[in-house]
Structure 1
Amino acid sequence: MRPEPERRIVVVYSLEPWDDVWRRNQHLVSRLLAADADLAVLFVEPPADPLHAALHGRLPRPGRGRRRVDHPVRGGNGDLEDGDVTRLRTYQPTKWWPRRLDPHGDRRRARAALRTAAHQGPVTAVWVNDISAVHALDLTDAPVLYDLTDDWLAARRSPEENARLTAAEHRLLTESRAVTACSPALVRDKGAVRPDIVLLTNGVDVGSYRGPLERPHDLATGPVALYVGTLHADRLDVDLCARTAQDLVRAGARLVLLGPDALQAEERTRLVRAGAELMGPRPHGQVPAYARSADVLVVPHVVDRFTDSLDPIKLYEYRAARRPVVATPVAGFREAGDPLVRAVPAESFPAVVVHTATSPGTSGEEAEEIPSGLPTWDSQAALMREVLGGLMRPPAARPR
């Protein structure tokens, strides 16, 4: 009898938690697990920060530690399937103190995650999406993949934070066994340091946008301009949103923002007073119904070097929804080449959104077939499997 192959363990240091709002990492990881019965994943979530929560009026709590994910995975056909969820664990550490008081906290948390993964078996690869997990390079002999999804060096950060990020990114670019990036801009801009970066864009579940989808009962009545995505001032132009919301209200329409709220209290108050509706997040399986029910899908993003580095998932989801799209001229949307997508300057953005939302003929049945060239999460997961497959080789490395 042939012995069963040893299970391969991948540790994923993620920028987002594993929750109902699926992002790049969850789409890719779920498909990798569905395609490879010998693969197991420890999905390391961002640490809980009790002190930060308390200072911002939220209930402080420690990290949830290691837990089983009782969630079906997605199969190759895009439909939800009951998978072997025992092969997927999440781990959330706790960040008790800010980095200036605990400069070795990131290293300690990275080591704790590797030790936690050892409960599932020897670690065969480490997938770093959170730049703070750079210390994994020192803590294990397992090959490291750096999946680059944001140009944090272009984001607005303090000089101290920018110096930390610069040093960490340089190490990850030069010392990781392989590097993937979600956008052509990232491949180009980081190519001087790492010329062999693999372009691995985001994607969409095309099948979930096909067929009749009922209008969600909690979506505002009347014309709706809908934004889908995390609300964060690094991306979202709050002033532009407020102006657009005011103009829509005067025209008998609404600006609806659907997604996790990472805004400051003052920013949130300004939007609500302007007439915007902040709905909060919805499970990823419900998002297509909201997008297909909107009169216009909007992208009121800041246009700067940071947003130019991104590959917005909403670019593919919006196009799959086949609704009119109005965006500021940010990466992806300005080059979309789709008759339903318009990229306009911020000065004219509110007027174009109001006109599109309230014009006859923008609601009803889908305008046309979903474009055939859209990248899907299945195709992107297959590419990620090739990259990871090139890294994982015996003997498996254990944490030092």
Structure 2
Amino acid sequence: MNCDVVFIAMENWDEVWRRNQPVAAGFARRSRDHKVLFVGLSIDASHLIRKGRFVRLARELWRTQLARPEGFENIYLLNVVKVMPNSLAWGRAFNRWLERRQIRRTMKRLGISQPLLWINPHYAVHLLGKLGERAAIYDVGDDWTSFPQPSEWLRQLVIAEDVELTERADATIVVSDRLHEMKRGQARKLRRIPNGAYLDRYTPIRLRSLPRHPVARNWSSPVFGYT
């Protein structure tokens, strides 16, 4: 794909690859002349202050270089700093303004313009139209609207954000038939892409000669687990 990509993820980039990392890595490998900005979890400044972790807070606030995952020279990792509690409406609004500012500043620093905006979390709906993106994709990994919330206000907010993001995104990707049914009347373009697995990584386990656990002794092969 002939453009830069900004990923808004629900997790940080680490050794456990979930749904976002393979997609981001695929973009980076196919378009080595383009950049991928991977935005992970926010750094909670108020939490670090309460815990007395001032050194880490200072390091994050004055970080001069973006981290890059091993093996990828064109993927850059960013964690924006959140300073107010999201439980307060005005605090959430301020955090979102600050997040947009930090992402735009990083994009300018990297020379990223008119990227493809790839969004995982429903709460990133406020980024639509604010990053100069050429198109936006909402990648829905679960039915966030069915998750229990600590308050009715927050439950309604999640539902509203999910619907708005589905309706405004140029394309919506879902992982299941159930989500496809839910989004069919909302999304502009809708595609179902189920989760997969790197089978070659399980080969050493499949070929090992260790005896099975008694619980799995009579199970048919192959046996896969998920945690």
TM-score category of the 2 structures, normalised to the smaller one: 0.7 to 0.9
Counterpart of 1:253? none
Of the candidates 106, 109, 121, which is equivalent to residue 130 of structure 1?
A: 121
Tell which has more relative contact order, 1 or 2 (C-alpha 8 A, sep 6+).
Answer: 1
Q: Is the 8 A contact 1:152 1:165 kept in 2?
A: yes
- State the AA in 2 paired with 1:131: H
String of CA shifts for 1:53-99, please: whole Å, max 9, x gaps: 676x6957435766131412xxxxxxxxxxxx221001101111112
1:88-123 CA deviation, whole Å, 9 max, x = no partner? 001101111112051321232033213312222223
Of all paired residues, the percent bearing the same amino acid is: 22
Higher alpha-carbon Rg: 1
Say which SS state the counterpart of residue 39 (structure 1) adopts. coil
**Per-residue CA distance 1:146-170 (angstroms, 9 max, x = gap):** 1111221110012121222222222
| 1:40 correspondence with 2:14 | no
Structure-1 residue corresponding to 2:44: 49
Matched, 1:95 2:88: no
Does residue 69 of the first structure (1) align with residue 58 of the second (2)?
no
For 1:333-355, what per-residue CA distance to the aligned partner results, in whole angstroms no more than 9, with x for missing partners?
xxxxxxxxxxxxxxxxxxxxxxx
Q: In structure 2, do the counterparts of structure 1 residues 21 and 211 end up closer, same or farther at CA, with 3 Å as the change threshold?
A: closer
Q: Deviations over 1:1-24 (max 9, x none)?
A: xxxx9x721110100001122211
| TM-score scaled by length of structure 2 | 0.79
- SS at 1:166 equivalent: helix
CA contact (8 A) 1:110 1:133 kept: no
| RMSD (CA atoms) | 3.1
Asked whether the 8 Å contact 1:11–1:114 carries over to 2, the reply is no
Query: For residues 169 and 369 of structure 1, do their structure 2 counterparts lie closer, same or farther at Cα, with a shift above 3 Å needed?
Result: closer
Q: What are structure 2's unaligned runs of at least 5 residues?
A: none
C-alpha separation between the residues in 2 aligned to 1:176 and 1:112? 22
Structure 2 residue matching 1:68: 3-state secondary structure: coil
Q: In structure 2, what is the Cα distance between the partners aligned to 1:117 and 1:110?
A: 10
Number of aligned residue pairs: give it: 212
Counterparts in 2 of 1:133 and 1:54: CA distance versus 1, 3 Å:
same
Matching of residue 161 in structure 1 with residue 161 in structure 2: no
- For 2:102 and 2:84, how far apart are their aligned partners in 1? 16
The answer (yes or no) to whether the contact 2:171–2:188 under 8 Å persists in 1 is no
Matched AA of 2:136: V
* C-alpha spacing 1:166/1:27, structure 2 compared with 1 (3 Å): same
Change (3 A) 1:196 1:178: closer
Query: 3-state SS of the aligned residue for 2:163?
Result: helix
Between structures 1 and 2, the one with greater helix share: 2
Paired residue type of 1:119: R
CA distance in 1 between counterparts of 2:34 and 2:199 reads: 26
Counterpart of 1:43 in 2: which secondary structure? strand
**Contact 2:206/2:222 (CA < 8 Å) preserved in 1?**
no
| Partner of residue 340, structure 1 | none
Give the counterpart letter for 2:91 in structure 1: D
* Residue 35 (structure 1) shift: 2.4
Matched, 1:151 2:143: yes
Quick one: distance in 2 between partners of 1:187 and 1:114? 32
Moved segments of 4+, more than 6 Å: none
The residue number in structure 1 matching 2:169 is: 176
Aligned residues of 2:82 and 2:98 also touching (Cα < 8 A): no
1:207 corresponds to which residue? 200
Kindly indicate whether the alpha-carbon contact (under 8 Å) linking 1:9 and 1:120 is maintained by their aligned counterparts in 2. Answer: no
Q: In structure 2, what is the equivalent of residue 274 of structure 1?
A: none
- Distance in 2, matches of 1:44 and 1:167, equals 23
Where structure 1 has 5 or more consecutive residues not aligned to the other structure, the ranges are: 73-84, 216-291, 296-355, 372-400
Do the aligned residues in 2 keep the contact of 1:50 with 1:95 (CA within 8 Å)?
yes
Equivalent of 1:116 in 106, 131, 134: 106
Contact map agreement 1:68 1:86 (CA 8 A) in 2: no
Partners of 1:103 and 1:21 lie apart in 2 by 29
Q: Quick one: distance in 1 between partners of 2:24 and 2:97?
A: 24
Residue 209 (structure 1) shift: 0.9
